[in-house]
Amino acid sequence: MFTGQLPKHFSPRKLAYQNAFFEGEVPVASCPRLTELLADDRGVVKVSLQFEVDEQRRPLIKGQVSTTIDMICERCLDVAEIDVVAPVSVAVVRNEEQAGNLPADLDPLIVEEEAVELLPFIEQEILLCMPGFAYHENETCHSGQEAYSTMPEGSAEELEPEPQRPNPFSVLAGLKAGK
Ligand SMILES: [Zn+2]
């Protein structure tokens, strides 16, 4: 078992055969692709990863990556704390072909060389799970607006009538008439 300082690189196949377990934290500030999307870079990403080999001798990485990040609320434009919990269920494969043969519950991690950089891996898992847009919970939002969350998703678009496509011939006719 490995706790505290996480390694910079890891060898997923070797760790899988060793049944290794990682637990630790990395600062949000050390994830540049993530902080680009955030209101600030405070906080940590908690990492808990179990390496194992399945019945098909596939090296797997299972576990969880979680964090609380500060995003801008789209309603009041103030900072909202958003919890992100990213379950990790990854199979280490050598190429696209092996990736394509995986069952739906396993995400491929294509590793040709032995060492994988840990930070980009963790960052990617968070990016896949975080919301594209952040909103405060209704009672904590500073906008004073009623939330839209009672409305089923997509209904706003459905209410808008489909724009009528102008008949190309009538447009042409209009152009001619305007001359
Ligand atoms: Zn808000």
**Ligand 1 centroid – CA 141 distance (Å):** 4
Q: Is the pLDDT of residue 24 over 60?
A: yes
pLDDT of residue 151: 45
Task: Give the confidence band of 166 by pLDDT, cuts at 50, 70, 90.
Answer: low
What is the per-residue DSSP string for the chain? -EEESPPSEE-HHHHHHTT-EEEEEEEGGG-HHHHTTSS---SEEEEEEEEEE-TT--EEEEEEEEEEEEEEBTTT-SEEEEEEEEEEEEEEESSHHHHHTS-TT-EEEE-SSS-EEHHHHHHHHHHHHS-SSB---GGG-SS-PPPSTTSPTTHHHHHSPPPPPPPHHHHHHHHHHH-
CA distance 47 to 125: 10
Q: What are the C-alpha distances in Å from 135 to residues 84, 85, 105, 155? A: 13, 17, 29, 18
pLDDT of residue 30: 94
Residue 131 covered by a domain = yes
**Ligand 1 centroid – CA 75 distance (Å):** 5
**Ligand 1 centroid – CA 146 distance (Å):** 11
Residue 59 covered by a domain = yes
**Ligand 1 centroid – CA 157 distance (Å):** 22
**Ligand 1 centroid – CA 76 distance (Å):** 4
**Ligand 1 centroid – CA 98 distance (Å):** 44
CA distance 95 to 33: 25
**Ligand 1 centroid – CA 31 distance (Å):** 25
pLDDT of residue 139: 83
Task: Give the confidence band of 114 by pLDDT, cuts at 50, 70, 90.
Answer: confident
**Ligand 1 centroid – CA 38 distance (Å):** 15
Residue 60 covered by a domain = yes
Residue 179 covered by a domain = no
pLDDT of residue 68: 97
pLDDT of residue 140: 87
**Ligand 1 centroid – CA 131 distance (Å):** 15
**Ligand 1 centroid – CA 36 distance (Å):** 20
Q: Is the pLDDT of residue 177 over 90?
A: no
Look up the domain containing 43 and give its range.
Answer: 2-146
Residue 113 covered by a domain = yes
Task: Give the confidence band of 6 by pLDDT, cuts at 50, 70, 90.
Answer: confident
Residue 116 covered by a domain = yes
Q: Greater confidence, 101 or 174?
A: 101
The string of pLDDT tens digits covering residues 141-161 is 988 755 555 444 444 444 444
Residue 9 covered by a domain = yes
Ligand 1 ion local residues (Cβ < 5 A): 73, 75-76, 136, 141
Domain count, the chain: 1
Residue 7 covered by a domain = yes
Nearest CA-CA partner of 119 in 15, 33, 14, 18:
33
Structure tokens at 160: 């808008």
